[in-house]
Structure 1
Amino acid sequence: MTNNIENKVVVITGGSSGLGEATARHLSSLGAKIILGARREDKLQAIVNDLKAVGGEADYLVTDVTIRSDVEALVQKAIDAFGRVDVMINNAGIMAIAPMNALKVDEWDRMIDINIKGVLYGVAAALPVFEKQESGHFINISSIAGVKVFSPGGTVYSGTKFAVRAISEGLRHEVGGKIRTTTIEPGAIESELKHGSSDQGGAAAVKELYENNAIPADSIARAIAYAIEQPADVDVNEIIIRPTVQEF
């Protein structure tokens, strides 16, 4: 089925590390054309250089997903480079774990801006392109915490990830029969997500969870490839992936 990935143009937010980087590398190895967006240009450039060094086609644009015009420019970058967009992977995210009474309101705002509004900006940028093409595929990264509330500590984070699932399901219903929508819900996956907590207790809990459970980021990359490679009349809507040993 790799022909269903080969030559597809894939835009990935949060593409400078973790799930985004692993997905870019995996899909590129299967022949996809990659456009990466993230804030850290040095890391984006290094990944793109690696992909090109082994014959891949890739480019990047420095992107802050909390700025709608940045996300629009990222999608336009793909169109300018490759003429179309086939897959929009809304991957950028942040996880700040702390009890509600710690009142980390700035972190709540940041999670809402990145985890929810960042996904919406990705949808807003790519949907008109998909509708014009009469084809396209949204892949939105939620979390196991979007299936089961991670509390105490992850209540707001879970709220943002439940929102991603709701948005994805509503989007699937609204866009009709030619645009596909997939939500990925990872458990503990090795990435920089685990470093997002300023609360000492929250950070310690996350550190323990990941040390005892985490599996490599390419576990998610393979799941994303599975969803993309299906025939156009097959829409894989939701995939939950946990480490086998993870209880939560």
Structure 2
Amino acid sequence: MFIRYEVAGKVATITLNRPEAANAQNAALLDELDAAWVRAADDPEVAVIVLRAEGKHFSAGHDIKGSSAPDSAAAKLTLERLYDYESRRYLEYSLRWRNIPKPSIAAVQGRCISGGLLLCWPCDLIIAAEDALFSDPVVLMGIGGVEYHGHTWELGPRKAKEILFTGRPVTAHEAEQVGMVNKVVPRDQLDTETRAWAEQIAKMPPFGLRQAKRAVNQTLDVQGFYAAIQSVFDIHHTGHGNALSISGFPVLARFDQMKEQIGR
């Protein structure tokens, strides 16, 4: 089991529980995570959902040397199969978590790399430990960013281009300054601060919370968020297609360079 699920009071806590792999995401972890989100959404006693992670890091992203993609041997992999896999586990899952009609809070510590952004960005609020670093270095693999391309919305266009072009991480305090993170706290206070926020929010009328969330998300969608996320997912796959035509499965070809860049 890669996910722990607990309910205390009106708060459901979903915990990434693969610390030995820096909570890297294989297919089983993502499927378990989606099931936990749906369980929390369907439970009438749950008012707020918290997403957190065990260990030093929130998530090192997709398990690019494990089982995070179908048949990673280049001879077996086609763009169609990769597109189908990623549209379900990366795009569809992240959009579903974003639109669950209950407030959600992500508690992020350590590294949050590439696919890790697909876990915290769908949450309504993000509380970050002072040691949190957010990055998306997949341009190193010839791809324009991760599948759920929230960069422009979360960071603004110029900061989004900066982190994509350079691959450098954004610190917790930088993320707070641009509005991607709501609050930065010492590492040893991350869980208690997140719990305090969750319990405070859980006292609000559930339907009011639901409508407030819908109002903000719907405003973003009217501004183009949903259409942009869908269209940029296709741009992401032009990167995969180019890499497949040149050198086979792109992740493995550039893994060592990417590993050096992110300091794993």
TM over 0.5: no
TM-score (norm 1): 0.30
